[in-house]
Structure 1
Amino acid sequence: MSNTPKPDQLSTLTELLEATGSKLRLYDMGRRIQRVSRQQFIKFERYEIAWPAPLARHAWLALLQTGSENNEPVIWFLKLPLDEQGKLVQAARDYFVQRLAEVWALNKTQDSNVPDALKDNPFVFKPREERMAVFHAKISADLKQPASNFYAHAKEYFSGEAGWEQ
């Protein structure tokens, strides 16, 4: 008998995503792109604290899942609504969790996948290109990935070592 909870028994987004066996990293994508600790996000989900840097009455976040079956990181960009105190509107989060849990249950019986559940979801957003570049740089550093092939040339160019005609 497994101790893994069923999708319909999971009440928070953190519980649902960690039940897949992957490691979860959270980032604030609002005013400033920065890492959010797991404990801080859990307190936010439990309505104990307000979102630290709300933007337009939403918590803009990136969820990075690592350690999945194919070892490819999975990234979700979510825009969760906040109440007048800057705290999570739990009905919106519950709707999102329920929708993911339904897709997860369907995935066990059919050829459905989670990205399809996010396709028409009102809580999903796509960051602008410059924010995406900053986010990519931050997660690359966090995951200790090697620098881009273009990094050395760009560094030489901006430092003036390569000459301005390059």
Structure 2
Amino acid sequence: METIHTLTDLLVNSGCQYHIYDISRRVQLIDNDQFAAVERASQPYPYPIQRQAQFAIAYWNEEKQPWIWFLKFQLDERGLLSQGDVGQFLKYVLEAMGTRLGKEMSEEQQQKLSNNPFTFKPTDDKLAVFHSLLRAELDLTTSQYYQHARDYFCGDLGWDNWQTVGLQGITDMAARLGQEENGRLIRTSLRHLASEPRYAYLGLLSMWRCQKSSPQACANLLNLNVSPMIRICSY
């Protein structure tokens, strides 16, 4: 077995497939080769926030049921990852799990791994966007809130009943604008929505970015212009 020096080493040696998403201001996929270069200190972390790198690692085996880590590491004045922090986290992982990541963890292993300063919980809106994006990327089923959200955007529940619609259901639709006429449903519904749900949806678009779509690409499907919101969320 090769010596494990980086998160990339660990993931590659595990035999699992994996994606890495920045979740600082937007939710956006980071190319695996680019992240490996960041870990080699060949380039700074591309999306710093408050001198930190905040990202999610999703990895999965052939069953495509992903395991997820939400991690944050300090950056130095050049924007490079703290090698000491990464090494310390790897120590936690190797002590708790070894290098075989694609297997179920016992309660004791989960407790060992959770007892570290590098994991964190993102805000609810970013969690919703992340989970919808990941499940769409892996072609997994939607959440239990998806159909209720579709019923609302079809107008079947009454436009004043927007408070019954789960955030996860809305992000599931946003991750699948090209499926089941979701783009048309949302575009048609916007003229009926109260300001609260309309701005909530546009706010979700502003933090949405991945290889297959972007806030403006999503907006193009809806005939919207979200560039002012993109600028606000990108500073």
C-alpha deviation, 1:156, in angstroms: 3.6
CA distance in 1, matches of 2:108, 2:14: 13
Identity %: 36
Matched, 1:33 2:27: yes
Task: Tell me which protein shows more helix as a share of its residues.
Answer: 2
Q: Which moved more, 1:139-148 or 1:30-39?
A: 139-148
Task: Write out aligned runs for 1:42-81 (5 A).
Answer: 42-67=36-61, 71-81=64-74
Residues 100/146 of structure 1: CA separation in 2 closer, same or farther (3 Å cut): closer
- Aligned to 1:19, the other structure's residue is in SS state helix
C-alpha deviation, 1:122, in angstroms: 0.7
Cα deviations across residues 110-142 of structure 1 (Å, max 9, x unaligned)? x78542332221111011222111111111111
Aligned structure 1 segments of 4 or more residues deviating by more than 4 angstroms: 111-114
C-alpha deviation, 1:161, in angstroms: 5.0
Q: State the partner residue of 2:85.
A: 92
Task: Tell me which protein shows more strand as a share of its residues.
Answer: 1
| Root mean square deviation of aligned Cα | 2.5
Task: Write out aligned runs for 1:1-166 (5 A).
Answer: 4-5=1-2, 9-67=3-61, 71-105=64-98, 114-164=109-159
Residues 95/164 of structure 1: CA separation in 2 closer, same or farther (3 Å cut): closer
CA distance in 2, matches of 1:151, 1:71: 20
Residues 165/62 of structure 1: CA separation in 2 closer, same or farther (3 Å cut): closer
Look up the equivalent residue of 1:18 and give its one-letter code: V
Look up the equivalent residue of 1:31 and give its one-letter code: R
Unaligned 5+ segments in structure 2 are 101-105, 162-235
- Aligned to 2:159, the other structure's residue is in SS state coil
C-alpha deviation, 1:51, in angstroms: 1.1
Structure 2 length-normalised TM = 0.59
Size of the aligned set, in residue pairs, is: 156
Contact 1:59 1:82 in 2 (8 A): yes
Structure 1 length-normalised TM = 0.81
